[in-house]
Amino acid sequence: MIEGLIPSSLSTTTTTPASAQSPLGKEDFLQLLVAQLSTQDPLNPMDSREFSAQLAQFSALEQMTNVNATLEDLVKAQQAMGNSSMISLIGKNVDIPGNSFEYTQGETTNLTYTLGEEASTTKIEIYNAAGVLVNTLSGPGAKGSNLTIWNGLDSQGNPVGSGFYTFKVQATDSSGKLVGAETFTTGLVTDVLFEEGEAFAVVNGQKLPAEQITRVSIN
């Protein structure tokens, strides 16, 4: 063996042609078919059945390409419709997961929550920004979505001031066992953002995907 040379049988490095690294399209298929016809032996032409089979493959490839293009157009159209519907949310109130809300003195606030099971007792505790308990309300205990309206009064019947508040839901069944609860807060959609093909609503300063919105109402 000559020093410095590696026998081909021992070499582990392979090189893939650039043309083999990407799938063939219908234009490549057509070029191969034309080249095959132009170089065939006139005295021994291609079998007609083989030629028909290749034409059928080309036709199927073109149909698949057209279907893919149509599907891409449909996806773009659906995305455009979704973006248009998101724009209509601006200026409307929506319910989103959370337990904090901004209250304006003299108004009422919807407190929404869902229960995993039916509850016999449901208490809604409302806290101010300092974490002090303001009032405790009794709410419905149906399995699923529930709504309680807070009139902005504390436990003594006095109106509270404007500001940020939070609420908690404590629900128990007939045996006193805790029932799982998820809270939702109401906020105004101030902006709609479009990023990387997805739409987001800006609610209470938070950027949220559309699927997190559970309810839409007129402000």
Answering whether pTM is above 0.75, one says: no
**pLDDT given for residue 124 in this prediction:** 97
pLDDT reported for residue 158 = 96
Q: What is the mean pLDDT of the chain?
A: 78
Q: Check: CB of residue 51 under 8 Å from CB of residue 83.
A: no
State the pLDDT at residue 117. 95
Single-letter amino acid, residue 128 = N
Look up tokens 């987001």; give the residue: 200
HEC assignment per residue over 77-116: HHHHHHHHHHHCCCCCEEEEECCEEEECCCCCEEEEEEEC
Q: What is the pLDDT of residues 10-50, one digit of tens each?
A: 444 455 454 445 555 556 666 766 776 666 656 565 555 66
The C-alpha angle with vertex 10 and arms to 6 and 12, in degrees rounded to 5, equals 105
Residue range 114-143: average pLDDT?
Answer: 96
Instruction: Say how far apart CA 137 and CA 213 lie, in whole Å.
Output: 25
Q: If residue 50 lies in a helix (H) or strand (E), which one and from where to where?
A: helix 48-87
Cα Rg, the chain, nearest whole Å: 33
Measured CA to CA, the distance from residue 191 to residue 188 in angstroms comes to 9
The pLDDT confidence band at residue 9, using thresholds 50, 70 and 90, is very low
Q: Tell me the two tokens of residue 56.
A: 């059928």
pLDDT tier at 8, thresholds 50, 70, 90? very low
Which of the four pLDDT bands, split at 50, 70 and 90, describes residue 160?
Answer: very high
How do strand 100-103 and strand 206-209 relate by DSSP bridges?
A: unpaired
Q: How far apart are CA 100 and CA 165, in angstroms?
A: 6
Structural domains of the chain in order of their starting residue, each with its CATH number: 93-217 (2.60.40.4070)
Distance CA(59)–CA(66), nearest Å, equals 11
Q: Coil, strand or helix: which one is 63?
A: helix
User: Distances in Å between the alpha carbon of 5 and those of 14, 15, 16?
Assistant: 16, 18, 22
- Residue 143: which residues within 8 A CB-CB, separation 6 or more? 115, 116, 117, 118
Residue 123 pLDDT greater than 90, yes or no: yes
Structure tokens at 23: 């799938």
